[in-house]
Each structure stands twice: as structure tokens, then as C-alpha cells.
Amino acid sequence: MNERLTEQKSIYLQISEMIETDILRGILLEEEQVPSTNELAKLYTINPATAAKGVGLLVDEGILYKRRGIGMFVSSGARERILAKRKAAFAENHLAPLLAEARSLGISREELLNMIGERSI
Amino acid sequence: MSLICKDIVKTYSGKDVLQDVSLELQPGKIYGLIGRNGAGKTTLLSILTAQNPATRGEISLDGQGVWENRRSLEKLCFSRELNANAESGLASMKAKEYLRIAATYYESWDRDMEARLVSLFELNVKKKLGKMSKGMLSMITIIVALCSKAPYTFLDEPVAGLDVVAREQFYKLLLEEYTESGRTFVVSTHIIEEAADLLEEVIILHQGKVLLSGETQSFVDSACHVSGKAEEVDAAVAGLEVRHVETMGRSKGVTVFLEPGQKIDESRDVSVQPVSLQRAFVALCGEEEHK
């Protein structure tokens, strides 16, 4: 939650990704309350509406849920859901730019596969 | 429940400072008013708060005219930039006295908050305004704005002259007061980069006209920077609204504003990057210098 915001992406997306990352890292646990939008707004000095939009995205995806009058909580199964989502987006988010860079450097498919083969995951 | 101005025109000695300005300020939002020097920001703020009459046009709060209307005026606070020079007659006034006068203007003036902010900013209120630095005078205008508790509060360049620590204190204070009270704030600023994330809505004033008024996020999302080999860039942005063109040899960079549904042709060999509110503003209002 204490990462710095960048200009490379919409703030509300960064807020929702930071909450997700905290869930993946076990900083936020399932069935635990997440900071309120006002707390997030103050921490990042951003408009509370922006923080609410980021949190709202996660509610729509079932990663967070609202307990009336109390606040937002991490859903059970949230960690699995985030993993599945990030895996599904992995090719688009990470492979596409890798391949684009390889193409402009003239790296062949074989060379690229070799490079990957030489590294342990 | 909003502050509405319709077709405002302000003419000073034959020159239109504001031309057909129409805005609706909704309750419970933080608005940013940005524009270059001389764009008419201060004039607009003073007209919206009935401190200055418009040449033409109307301003109403919750359906009631604002001009000489006590009930409406009580809900408005315009904390002007303080100018403690000889003409203003404020030079020999102590900060303490200035704040005491401000307190009598606003029914809901918050004395506790006043004391808290004076000590937070480490202000010596026994000092005369004429002896204060620009930053200290900004602190006083911030104190007046926040402590007024007015439902519609307008701040003109509140961070001018403040050091970076005091500026961050101000942004946090503004957010704190906003989240606790739900008041509406309109903040004019030249330090766009720092305030951008605070502003739910942005109003861009350019040469006396409203160039844009809307959600900050959608405005920023509509703009992007495209760069690469000139021909590739031209092909990628063909038919789009292109601003702020910079070239160097064969290379070219442009800022593009996309209408809903428009897209950049990313099959071209170009880099597409997001732009900040500040860059988008410069692309929109800084054209002349680049022609």
C-alpha cells in the first residue's frame, strides 16, 4: 500500500493494483478490512472519488466486498481470483512488450527461447 | 443545489476579460481552475463570489441570485491572494487583527481550527502583514479559506510562495477538511502537477473563455503522447486532433486528444505514452509558442 504513484497509469488503476498486490503478498488478509477511501485519499493526497473508483473496481470483480456501515473487506478466495486474473493478463501485459522489443532489436524466435531457457524462473 | 454562472462577460476598459463563461459547480467536489497568467482566473473567482460585478450574465446559488443577496453570500468564501502593499492599506495591520476581522465575516468561523493552523504553520500573528513574506501571506489566506467553513470556498493561488513542505501540508489539510465536511472547493493554481490528483474536476480558462470543464480523469485519459519516426507518427495519428508537435531530425513527438471512440493506430512503429494533466494543459494552451 505504500508504493509511490506514477504518471504512467491512471491513479484509480494504481490504487486497485496496489490493494491487489497487498493481498497477493499477504499484507492484506482475506476477510480483513481494507483502508477506507478517505484513508487512501489522505495517504496518497488524491481525491477520495478517485480512491473510491479504484476500490469500486475490486468490488465489481468480487475481490472486495462491502459490509454495510463498517467498510470494505477482502473476499475469501480473493487471492486465487487475483492470481487467475493476473495470469490471464500476463501474455498481454508482459509478453507483448517483450516481443515488440525483440522485434525491433531483430532478436529471432529461437534466440528469445534460448534466453528464456537459460534463466531459471 | 449548485453554483451556476451563465454567459458571464466582464469588460475592463473595452477589453473582454471574460467571454461567455458558463459553469455549474456542484456541491461536494474539489474543482481546479487552471489557466495561464492573464487568462481571467482571479476575475472569474471574484465574480462568482459577488465581490466584483459581471458586465453581463447571471450567477445563482441554489436558484437564488448571488449579487447583494445576504443568504447566498454567507455560503461563499473567496480567500484572495493577500497583497500587503501601501495601496491595500493592509501593510500596518497585524495578522491577528486580519484574522479577527475575517472571523466576523463568517458565521461558522472555526476558532479551534484557526489556532491549530496558526501553530501548524508556525505563524507569528503579532507580525504586521507588511512585514510578512509571500509564503506567510499565503498561509493566512489558507487559514481564512479553511476556517470560514463556507460551503463554497474559493482559493486563488493558495500555494504561491509556499515551500514544498508547507504545500504538502496544505494539500493534506484541504483533503482532510473536504472529507470531513463535504464542502465545495475551487482552487486556482499554477503548480498543476502537485494538485492534479486532488482535483475531481478541472476547469481550463484560456484567454477569457472556458476551454474545458469536466472530470480531470477523463480529460487526462483522452490525451496521450505519440512519438517515433515522423512518417510513422503521422500515419498513427491521421485524422486525430494533434497538438504540441515537436520534431528533431526524422523523429517526431505529438500530443493527441482523442474523442470517444477514436484510437491511435498502434500497428505503426510508435511509442504511445500517457500524459499528465500539466502536459495536457500545456499542449492545449501553450500552442502559440510552438507555431
| Residue A2 domain-assigned (yes or no) | no
Is A5 domain-assigned?
no
Question: What is the rounded average pLDDT for all residues in chain B?
Answer: 93
Say whether B121 sits in a helix, a strand or coil.
Answer: coil
- Residue of B176, B198, B229, B269 to mutate, testing the A interface (most A Cβ within 10 Å of its Cβ): B198
Sign of CA dihedral B187, B189, B192, B193: negative
Residue B147 · residue B114 · CB < 8 Å: yes
Q: Do A86 and A103 fall within a single domain?
A: yes
Q: Is B217 on the interface with A (CB under 8 A)?
A: yes
Give B271's strand partners.
Answer: B227
- What is the rounded CA–CA span in Å between residue A30 and residue A68? 18
Task: Please report whether residue A112 resides in a domain.
Answer: yes
Q: Is B221 on the interface with A (CB under 8 A)?
A: yes
Residues A18 and A72 in one domain: yes
Q: For residue B270, which phi and psi values (nearest 5 degrees)?
A: -135, 160
Contact B33, B187 (CB under 8 A): yes
- What ipTM score was computed for the predicted complex, to two decimals? 0.79
User: Do residues A52 and A89 share a domain?
Assistant: no
Do A26 and A42 belong together in one domain? yes
- Chain A closest CA to B68's CA: distance in Å? 33
Chain A residue numbers with beta carbons less than 8 Å from the beta carbon of B29 are 49
pLDDT at B207: 94
Q: Is residue A42 part of a domain?
A: yes
Using CB atoms, pick whichever of A7, A38, A44 lies closest to residue B179.
A38
Q: pLDDT tens-digit profile of B4-13?
A: 999 999 999 9
The C-alpha cell of B273 is what? 505514452
Angle between helices B134-148 and B164-181 (to 10 degrees): 10
A47 contact B CB<8A? yes
Look at B200 and A50 and tell me if their CB atoms are within 8 Å.
Answer: yes
Indicate if A61 and A103 belong to the same structural domain: no
Q: Which of B127, B184, B134, B183 is nearest to B159 (CA)?
A: B134
User: Would you call B24 an interface residue with chain A, using a CB distance cutoff of 8 Å?
Assistant: no
With contact defined as beta carbons under 8 Å apart, do B177 and B146 qualify? yes
Q: Are residues A114 and A67 in the same domain?
A: no
Residues of A in contact with B220 (CB under 8 A): 10
Q: Looking at the structure, do residues A85 and A66 belong to the same domain, yes or no? A: no
Domain shared by A33 and A87, yes or no: no
Q: How far apart are the first and last CA of chain A?
A: 26
Residue whose entry in the numeric block shows the C-alpha cell 488478509: A29
CATH assignment of the domain containing A58: 1.10.10.10
Q: Which domains does chain B have, with CATH numbers?
A: 3-207 (3.40.50.300), 219-290 (no CATH)
Domain that holds residue A84: 79-118
A52 in the same domain as A92:
no
Q: For residues A34 and A89, state if they share a domain.
A: no
Angle separating helix axes B95-105 and B111-120, nearest 10 degrees: 150
Q: What are the φ/ψ torsions at residue B46 (nearest 5 degrees)?
A: -70, -30
Answer yes or no: is A6 within a domain: no
Rounded to 5°, the CA angle B164-B169-B172 comes to 125
Inter-chain residue contact B172 with A45, CB threshold 8 Å:
yes
User: What per-residue confidence (pLDDT) applies to B290?
Assistant: 44
| CA gap B61, B70 in Å, rounded | 12
Q: Angle CA(B273)–CA(B279)–CA(B282) in degrees, nearest 5?
A: 140
Q: B56-61 and B64-65 as β-strands: parallel, antiparallel, unpaired?
A: antiparallel
Per the structure, the count of domains in chain A is: 2
Is B200 touching A (CB cutoff 8 A)? yes
pLDDT tens by residue, B44-96: 999 999 999 999 999 999 998 988 888 888 899 999 888 877 677 788 999 99
User: Each residue of B132-149: pLDDT tens digit?
Assistant: 999 999 999 999 999 999
Phi then psi for residue B78, to 5 deg, are: -115, 105
Examine the domain organization and report whether A72 and A95 are in the same domain.
Answer: no
Same domain assignment for residues A56 and A111? no
